[in-house]
């Protein structure tokens, strides 16, 4: 388990923002930090990596790294905007970070049979860093090794950026919304490939996209106003949010308990669990097609709810709806 503890204050003129968050990520785990824009999730990641000036402290496994430059923290970082060096080709970009290490780099595959890694003073072979061409091949862009970043598509740039982050054999791979700038088909393809990459590494992935979080996360940490407000498996966070704010962000309906289990306070029910046909009379306010289903907005008894139905009623129609109590989560204070 690797522990991060950030207590940092950021100032921009008269504006101040604080990030006060502690996170743990297990070896081989993908922890997704999920939150709305302005919640501090990117600041958290950049501060852990050493890419953002701040007042305060950063500790990793109880040891302060506040004064260390990024190259001495052992993290690979994938930026949202790729941040590739335009004057270097793809291979040179991938190899860039390896110059700061004290480990040898594997030679090309056709030279590896006659190559022996150097040994430590104790006589053990030094574990080499991966060959840049091997990483480009792993990312599916080996044929782009001599291309410059300005000639690459967004998806190609992001694959090169991933290879560059992996080239230093990072202790933890940090990813700042690496899919957000891509078109939908490219995003879906890269998300699938990213799932394969993350299966072998320890990673912290920042995103505001719920689909990405559910697809990639072993655990999810939800941020709000610079703090982590809930951590759990994707199922726990999405099906049983702790607060109305978390429930709304992860796409759950926040409903009066009287409509669900007859109790007081508020409960969360996901749209996919709302039944068509039930004891509550609702008016259909809006119907929107979303891929293979429809998003149906309902008004009922002083409340509003969203349902996902494959065969929706018409706008303006009155329908009966039900909210299964066994799929509801009672919210804090409810």
Percent of the chain with pLDDT over 70: 99
Per-residue pLDDT at 94: 98
Residues 275-290 have pLDDT tens digits of 999 999 999 999 999 9
| Residue 102 pLDDT grade (very low, low, confident, very high; cuts 50, 70, 90) | confident
Average pLDDT in the 75-90 region? 95
The full 3-state SS of the chain, as one line of letters, equals CEEEEEEEEEEECCEEEEEEEEEEECCCCEEEEECCCCCCHHHHHHHHHCCCCCEEEEEECCEECCCCCHHHCCEEEECCCCCCCCCCCHHHHHHHHHHHCCCCECCCHHHCCCCCCCECCCCCECCCECCHHHHHHHCCCHHHCCCCHHHCCHHHHHHHHHHHHHCCCCCEEEEECCCCCCCHHHHHHHHHHHHHHHCCCCEEEEECCHHHHHHHCCEEEEEECCEEEEEECHHHHHHCCCCHHHHHHCCCEEEEHHHCCCCCCEEEECHHHCEEEEEEEEEEEEEEEECCEEEEEEEECCEEEEEEECCCCCCCCEEEEECCHHHEEECCCC
Per-residue pLDDT at 97: 93
The pTM for the full model equals 0.92
150: left (phi over 0), alpha (psi -120 to 50) or beta: alpha
Task: State the residue for tokens 């694959």.
Answer: 159
Sheet containing 303-309: give its strands across: 303-309, 293-300, 275-290, 318-322
Per-residue pLDDT at 5: 97
Q: Which residues lie closer than 8 Å to 317 by C-beta, 6 or more apart?
A: 283, 284
**What is the gyration radius of the CA atoms in the chain, in angstroms?**
24
Residue 100 has pLDDT above 80, yes or no: yes
Per-residue pLDDT at 120: 74
| Residue 249 pLDDT grade (very low, low, confident, very high; cuts 50, 70, 90) | very high
Per-residue pLDDT at 183: 87
Residue 334 has pLDDT above 60, yes or no: no
**Whole-angstrom distance, CA of residue 153 vs CA of residue 90:** 12
Where is pLDDT greater, at 158 or 334?
A: 158
Residue 190 has pLDDT above 80, yes or no: yes
Per-residue pLDDT at 333: 61
Domains and CATH numbers, the chain: 2-239 (3.40.50.300), 254-330 (2.40.50.140)
């Amino acid at each position: 388990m690797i522990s991060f503890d950030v207590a940092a204050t950021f100032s921009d003129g008269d504006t101040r923002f604080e990030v006060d968050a502690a996170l743990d990520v297990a070896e081989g785990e993908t922890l997704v930090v999920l939150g709305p824009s302005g919640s501090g999730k990117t600041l958290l990641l950049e501060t852990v990596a050493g890419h953002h000036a701040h007042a305060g402290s950063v500790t990793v496994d109880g040891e302060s790294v506040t004064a260390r430059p990024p190259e001495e923290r052992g993290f690979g970082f994938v930026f949202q905007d790729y941040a590739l060096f335009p004057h270097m080709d793809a291979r040179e970009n991938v190899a860039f970070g390896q110059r700061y290490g004290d480990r040898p780099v594997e030679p090309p595959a056709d030279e590896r049979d006659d190559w022996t890694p150097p040994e430590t003073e104790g006589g053990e072979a030094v574990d080499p860093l991966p060959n840049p061409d091997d990483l480009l091949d792993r990312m599916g862009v080996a044929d782009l090794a001599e291309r410059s970043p300005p000639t690459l598509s967004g998806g190609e740039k992001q694959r090169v950026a991933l290879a560059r982050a992996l080239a230093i054999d990072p202790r933890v791979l940090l990813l700042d919304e690496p899919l957000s700038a891509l078109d939908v088909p490219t995003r879906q393809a890269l998300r699938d490939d990213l799932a394969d990459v993350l299966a072998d590494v320890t990673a912290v992935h920042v995103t505001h996209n719920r689909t990405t979080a559910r697809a990639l996360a072993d655990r999810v940490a939800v941020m709000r106003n610079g703090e982590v407000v809930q951590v759990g498996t994707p199922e726990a966070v999405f099906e049983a949010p702790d607060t109305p704010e978390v429930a709304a962000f992860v796409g759950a309906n926040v409903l009066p308990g009287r409509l669900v289990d007859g109790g007081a306070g508020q409960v969360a029910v996901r749209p996919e669990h709302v039944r068509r046909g039930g004891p509550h009379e609702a008016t259909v306010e809006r119907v929107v097609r979303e891929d293979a289903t429809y998003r149906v907005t309902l008004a009922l008894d002083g409340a509003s709810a969203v349902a996902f139905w494959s065969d929706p009623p018409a706008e303006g129609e009155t329908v009966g709806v039900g909210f299964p109590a066994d799929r509801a989560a009672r919210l804090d204070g409810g």
